[in-house]
Amino acid sequence: MFGKLLKSDLKAQFFSVAPIFISVFVIALVGELFVLFGKSSIGTALGGFVVALAMLFACLVIIIAVALMFSKTVFGRAGYLTLTLPVKTSSLVWSKTLSALIWTYSIYILFFASLFLWIYQVGEKMGTDFKDMADQLFTLLWGKSIATMISMLIYYLVWFGIIMFIIVQCMYLGITCSNVSPVSKFGVVGAVAVFFVSFAVVMSITGAFTRLLPFGMVICEEVVTITSNVNEKIHELGDYAYGFNFAGPLLTLAISVALNYPITYLIKNKVNIK
Amino acid sequence: MSVITASGLTKAYGNNVVLNDISFSLPEGKIIGLFGPNGCGKTTLMKILSGLIHDYSGEVLVNGNKPGEKTKAITAYLPEQTFVHDWMRNIDAVDYFNDFYSDFDKNKALEMLKRFGLSEKQKSKTMSKGMQEKLLLSLVMSREASLYILDEPMGGVDPATRGAILDFIMQNYSQKSTLLISTHLINDLESVFNHALFIGKGSVLINDSVENITAGGKSIEDVFKEVFSNVW
C-alpha cells in the first residue's frame, strides 16, 4: 500500500513541480547559449552567474511548492480524499515526505550537474583543461583542490539529503500545527513561525552535539581519514585538508525521522478537516 | 445489530457546541435519513464517522470500531464538496480508488461515468459542480462498502437529474449495506428511507423507523417542519 501512496504522491507533486523543472531547463539552456555564443569571457562568466542565481531561486521555489502541495492534499479539499483512505496516517506522512525529498533532491542534483557542465564548457572555450579549470575555480572559491572537492562530493550529497529531509519535516510540522488549535488562529504566520522555531532548535541541538562529539572524516587530496577529532586532524594536515563531522548529520537524520511522530499524532488526533 | 453507535458525543467549534452529549445507535442494513436544519451538526457528525474530525469527546463506533484505518476500509463517504485533485482526469480518479479500495469495482465505475455522459479523459477541474458530483457519486457508489455516508448527494444537481441520481443510488448500493444520507430535499428522497435521525440544537430529537414516525399519517417533511418549528 505504501508503494501506491508514493506513486500517487509523486504524480500529484509532479504537476506542482513540473513548471519549476521546465523553468530550470530553460534557464540552463539560456546559460548554454551564453557560454556557446558569448563573445567576451566576462559575459560568459556573468551569464553563468545569472544562471546559478536563477537555479538557486528555483531550489527555494521547489521547497515552497512541496509545502503548498502538502497543505492542499492533507488539509485542503483533497484532504477528503487523502484522509479517508484505509491506510496508516504515518504511511501517509512518510509517503509525502519521501516524494518531496525525491523532487527537491532531483532539482539540486540538476543544479550541481549544470554547474559542472558550465565549468567544463567555459574551460573548453578558454582552452583550459576541465580539471585545471575546476581546480583553479575551487581553489579560488573554497581554497581546496579538485581532488579534495571530488572526495567531498559524496559527503555533500548525503548532507544535502539530510538537510532537505529536516527542512521538509519542519515545514510539514509547521503546516500541521497551523491546522491545530491554538496555532490555527495565526494561519500562515503560525506555520512559518513553527517552521523557523523548530528548524532553529534542531540546528542548535545538532550544533552543540557536533562540538561535543567532533568525530568525522578529514579529506586531504585523495586521502580520506576517519578521526575522533576533526579539528585536530585538519590542523595537523594543513590548508588543503577539509573536515566533516558525523555527529551533526547523524543527529539531524535521527530528529528528521522522529519528527514524523508528532506530525502523524497531530493529523491523527487533533486536525479537523474543514 | 447497530452499525453506528455514539455515546456522550460532544463536539464544539470554539464556544459553539454543535453536538451536545448525544447518544444514539443506528440499525444495520437500512437507508437512514439524517435530518436537521442548517448548522445543526449533520456534516460534523458525518465527518466524525468518516474519521475526518478527531477532537470530540465521547465515543463513536462504526461496526464496533473507532473511526480509523479499519472503518475507512468499509465506509464510503461522499462529502458535500468535491475532493479530487485538480490534476486528475476522471480515469485517474477511478484508478486512484481502484488502487486503494479492495471493494472498488472499476468496471462498474467506468460504466457509471459513461451513463452520466462523463469522458474518461476529462480533467475534474474543467467540469461543472454538477458533473463533479456525478463523478464522485460514481466513485463512491462503485464500492461494495458496508456503510455509505452521503452528505447532500443531490445538493448541486438540477431537479430533472435528481430522480435519475436517486435511482442510480438505489440500484448501485450493496443491499446488505447501510446508507446514511443527509438531505434538505426530503420530498425527493422520502420514499426510500426506512429509518430517520433528526438532530437539532445539539441533541437527538427523533431516532426511529420511518414506519413509526409516519404512523399518524404525516410525511417525514411534515414531521420535520413540526419538530424544527419548535426547536429554532
Query: So what's the pLDDT on residue B230?
Result: 63
pLDDT confidence band for A252 (50 / 70 / 90):
very high
Mean pLDDT of chain B: 86
A73 contact residues in B (CB cutoff 8 A)? 85
> Does position B111 have pLDDT exceeding 80, yes or no?
yes
| B53/A84 Cβ within 8 A | no
For B74-103, the pLDDT digits (tens) are 999 999 888 888 888 999 999 999 999 999
| A79/B52 Cβ within 8 A | yes
Query: So what's the pLDDT on residue B231?
Result: 56
DSSP per-residue string spanning B61-125: EETTB-SSHHHHHHEEEE-SS--S-TT-BHHHHHHHHHHH-TTB-HHHHHHHHHHTT--TT-BGG
- Domain B2-231: CATH superfamily, name plus number: P-loop containing nucleotide triphosphate hydrolases (3.40.50.300)
pLDDT confidence band for A146 (50 / 70 / 90):
low
For A55-65, the pLDDT digits (tens) are 777 778 888 88
Query: So what's the pLDDT on residue A97?
Result: 94
User: Cβ(A198)–Cβ(A173) under 8 Å?
Assistant: yes
Query: How many Å lie between the alpha carbon of B217 and the closest alpha carbon of chain A?
Result: 40
Average pLDDT over residues A181-207: 91
First-residue to last-residue Cα distance in chain B: 33
B75 contact residues in A (CB cutoff 8 A)? 84
For A17-43, the pLDDT digits (tens) are 888 878 777 877 777 777 667 666 666
Residue with more model confidence, A147 or A15: A15
CA atoms lying within 13 Å on the CB side of residue A141: 8
Which grid coordinates belong to B145?
Answer: 462498502
> Does position B130 have pLDDT exceeding 90, yes or no?
no
pLDDT confidence band for A205 (50 / 70 / 90):
very high
Check if the interface score ipTM surpasses 0.90: no
Of B51, B72, B82, the CB nearest to A77: B82
Distance (Å, rounded) from C-alpha B164 to C-alpha A12?
A: 33
pTM higher than 0.80: yes
Residue with more model confidence, A69 or A50: A69
Query: So what's the pLDDT on residue B90?
Result: 92
Which sequence spans correspond to the domains of chain A?
1-128, 143-274
Q: Quick one: how many helices (H) and strands (E) in chain B?
A: 9, 9
Which sequence spans correspond to the domains of chain B?
2-231
Query: So what's the pLDDT on residue A202?
Result: 94
- Is the Cβ of A12 closer than 8 Å to some Cβ of chain B? yes
Distance (Å, rounded) from C-alpha A112 to C-alpha A52?
A: 9
Of A77, A83, A268, the CB nearest to B81: A77
Query: So what's the pLDDT on residue A39?
Result: 64
User: Cβ(A128)–Cβ(A41) under 8 Å?
Assistant: no
Mean pLDDT of chain A: 82
- Is the Cβ of A77 closer than 8 Å to some Cβ of chain B? yes
> Does position A129 have pLDDT exceeding 70, yes or no?
no
Query: Which residues make beta-bridge pairs with B60?
Result: B6
CA atoms lying within 13 Å on the CB side of residue B178: 21
Query: So what's the pLDDT on residue A134?
Result: 66
Lowest mean pLDDT among A41-55, A81-95, A155-169, B196-210: A41-55
> Does position A148 have pLDDT exceeding 80, yes or no?
no
> Does position B148 have pLDDT exceeding 90, yes or no?
yes
| B85/A12 Cβ within 8 A | yes
> Does position B29 have pLDDT exceeding 90, yes or no?
no
DSSP per-residue string spanning A205-224: HHHHHHHH---EEEEETTEE
Average pLDDT over residues A158-183: 91
Query: So what's the pLDDT on residue B228?
Result: 81
pLDDT confidence band for A147 (50 / 70 / 90):
low
Q: Express as a percent the part of chain B with pLDDT over 70.
A: 98
